[in-house]
Amino acid sequence: MPVVERLLPSDEAREVVALAADICAKELEPRIARDEAEAHFPREVFTTLGQAGLLSLPYPERFGGGAQPFEVYLQVLEEIAYRSASVAVGVSVHALSCYPLANFGTDTQREEHLPRLLSGDLLGAYCLSEPHAGSDPAALKTTATPPTETGGDYVLSGTKAWVTHGGAADFYTVFARTGEGRGGISCFLVDEDTPGMTPHAPERKMGLTASPTTQIAFENAAVPANRLVGAEGQGLTIALSALDSGRLGIAAAATGLAQRALDDAVAYAREREAFGRPIIDHQGLGFLLADMAAAVESARATTLAAARLRDAGRPFSRAASIAKLVATDAAMKVTEDAVQVFGGAGYTKDYPVERYMREAKVMQIFEGTNQIQRLVISRHLAKA
């Protein structure tokens, strides 16, 4: 990755970001075009990242985490996205799936499960959305019938949608209804081999094809009572809290993708000639690239500003929504403009910029559509 002017909080943080860049250049760059073309999920890459400590950066050392500030973790995600948006989104989703357990689980639950989750031995998935309940998680219908007074398991029934790593994950953080209304949702940690839990065939997507996305069906799936995360009825609070951090992960991934599209476009514009000189020297093209660079820098600054609020223990929900909105809209515009810089060549699969544009689109949709982000921001403004 070309030099990005980063303000990192420590020498250790600089080493961590450099390590991520080096691993991704060696492990991801040579394979990602093939993996995307063949819709092949690079599971072994997640093991490599886990062994290097890059899946556990924002979590406590006590459970095998890196105890790094969130701003460092996000800049690692950006480095990963520079090579592979699919893997970066997967890392963000894995961190999201660990969040409820790490922040709301009991000490016993965390000591039993977190070390393996954070090491990369196990890969996680996050099951909140449903076919009829995407932007409105409070409308979910999957049920978890509580145990009887004499003990037993919760019994889950329903269907979850848009599950990243569906069918490939080792554990699933699942939100299901244990009562009525917004206060009737609970959170569970579910193993991938749970009887009655069945992944559907992967969705046929326009981008991020190396990352499987499926529906997950639950039909009388028994989940032990000790796999309830947090209190019964606390699930929606847990889910929304996790999404604030998850939105920052997507913002960082979008920034890394946009940086790659910009760098590829600049390299092409320096080499391609028209009217006797490189096309970057023509003002119309040069100004387009300048706007792309401004958009990338703005996305990075907005994302890291939100992360620093989080690291300082200050409210960051509004800032997270702003970062997700700004960074993913920027990624869509920058990748689209990168295709324009390449001209007709950019519309072919001979160059990866067409893939970048397809990958950017979904970032405006998941972890809350950008319309939902605007709603969140406006509600914060109304309360202020």
| Residues labelled as active-site residues | 367
Task: For residue 173, list its beta bridge partners.
Answer: 126, 189
SS (H, E, C) 86-103: HHHHHHHHHHHHHHHHHH
Look at residue 69 and give its three-state secondary structure. Answer: coil
Please report the sign of the dihedral spanned by the C-alpha atoms of residue 53, residue 55, residue 61, residue 67: positive
Cβ–Cβ under 8 Å, residues 171 and 125: yes
Question: Distances in Å between the alpha carbon of 326 and those of 84, 89, 234?
Answer: 20, 17, 30
Which residues make Cβ contacts (< 8 Å) with residue 239, sequence separation at least 6? Answer: 100, 128, 137, 175, 185, 187
Query: In whole angstroms, what is the distance from residue 79 CA to residue 243 CA?
Result: 21
DSSP per residue, 258-302: HHHHHHHHHHHHHH-EETTEEGGGSHHHHHHHHHHHHHHHHHHHH
